[in-house]
Structure 1
Amino acid sequence: MIRVAIVEDDPLIRAGVAAVLGSEADLSVVGQGSDGDEAGALVEACRPDVLVMDIRMPRLDGIEATRAVCATDAAPPVLLLTTFDGDPDVVAALRAGAAGYVLKRHPDDLAPAIRRVADGEVWLDPAVAGQVLAALASLPVSGSPSVVVAGLTAREREVLALLAEGLSNTELAERLFVGVGTIKTHISRILFKTGCRDRAQATALAFTSGLVVVR
């Protein structure tokens, strides 16, 4: 059973999302919130496997809420809901640590997307994935390994350092006292944020950046 928490300021949409997920045998809605300010407390109280959150909300929006949630030790994957195909905030949210996004008009994609990100993968709405990836590729990225690593959260840097020691996902989970799914999510975010192709390239980055020093 995949535990899901929902943060959405529109009560009708929030209820609709809960109803859609409630009809799935392997998904369970364990908590709901109405604002990005509530996201952190909701995650801490409910310990969801996936957080589904609207990208546009009053007070604290989905981008800042994503950044705050992803900075925590046992952060669940964050799956964002957006209304617009070309929402420019999607790219910012992905760079903040979101594991993917779903268009609100594609409710049938929500359950598959939740399953995908719960397994440590990334979900981009197929209709506009190319557009989002092109936008990400066009963003300036420093060539300095130390600057690239500095863009990771403290937990992601910790995972990267342990990854460079050759630990498996299971060993990483045991070392950090979290689930294997959480480790998969951290690694997916590390690869996504740094542009590394695989674990080997990420390990090389850990050494070239000075994060890990050969003794």
Structure 2
Amino acid sequence: MIHATVNNEDRLGMGVLVVDDHDLVRLGLKTLLDSYARTLPCALVWFEAASLARAMDTYAQQRAHVHLVLLDLHLPDAHGLLGLQTFLRRFPDAPVAVISGNSDPYTQRQALNLGAQAYLSKNGHMQEVLDFVCQLSAHRAIDKSIEPSPTQVLGDERGPNRTIRSSSGMVVQLSARQSQVLDALLSGLSNREIAERVCLSEGTVKNHISQLLLSFGVRSRSQLLTLLR
């Protein structure tokens, strides 16, 4: 049976498929986001899966209604990046964001390179997850007059869609969000100014900048600016 709940049927729905083998994690995430739902332009429609196989079956049946897949990296039938690879191999256009307690930079970079829309942390207060869902909810509300097809969901917000070549010849693929943050960074904006421009928290902006530094193999924003200017 597919579990789906809607927190407000009078608003446009944004479907979120939560894939985690721990019932309490799924419940906690839904409770946390539902507590913020009154501030979102879209009602949240919840789908659940406790395994990769179940997640793929659910997505196959409900893909027209699922606008975000929150995928844990450690499931009974898939560990590490294998689950992400398997899911995206079957559904290349699926809007998948990894949510994990693993904060290893290499794993984060690999997940993004494989096509994950974002790498979100389970640790702390999960502000990144809230910011991310709020951003997608706003995007969904803007486009509410056009019902997205499975291959159009989230449009340019999904996956690596810009290639940057540095002065040293390094080639890096960036997602739309990383590209926005990088452009703002190259414009000389502070973290607070970047956050205001792209509608994210300062903490999330810092995480994006850290990911950019890792991707380009530098240790500071000044080195990044020198490399790309």
TM-score for the superposition, normalised by structure 2: 0.51
Distance in 1 (CA, whole Å) between partners of 2:101 and 2:16 is: 20
The code of the aligned residue for 2:23 comes to P
1:39 equivalenced with 2:55 (yes/no): yes
Compared CA separation, residues 13 and 72, structure 1 to 2 (3 A): same
Tell me what 1:56 maps to. Answer: 74
Distance in 1 (CA, whole Å) between partners of 2:16 and 2:154 is: 14
Output the aligned Cα RMSD.
3.6
Deviation at 1:46, TM superposition (A): 2.3
The code of the aligned residue for 2:160 comes to R
1:113 equivalenced with 2:132 (yes/no): yes
Contact kept in structure 2, 1:21 and 1:27, CA below 8 Å: no
Q: 2:172 aligns with which of 178, 195, 199?
A: 195
Compared CA separation, residues 177 and 113, structure 1 to 2 (3 A): closer
Tell me what 1:28 maps to. Answer: 44
Distance in 2 (CA, whole Å) between partners of 1:108 and 1:5 is: 19
Contact kept in structure 1, 2:157 and 2:175, CA below 8 Å: no
Contact kept in structure 2, 1:99 and 1:117, CA below 8 Å: no
Percent of counterpart pairs with the same letter? 16
Q: How many residues align?
A: 146
Distance in 2 (CA, whole Å) between partners of 1:192 and 1:198 is: 9
Point out the structure with the larger helix share: 1
Tell me what 1:212 maps to. Answer: none
Compared CA separation, residues 192 and 83, structure 1 to 2 (3 A): farther
Tell me what 1:7 maps to. Answer: 19
Q: 3-state DSSP class of the match of 2:47?
A: strand
Give 5+ residue unaligned stretches, structure 2.
1-12, 165-170, 177-229
Deviation at 1:50, TM superposition (A): 0.3
The code of the aligned residue for 1:195 comes to V
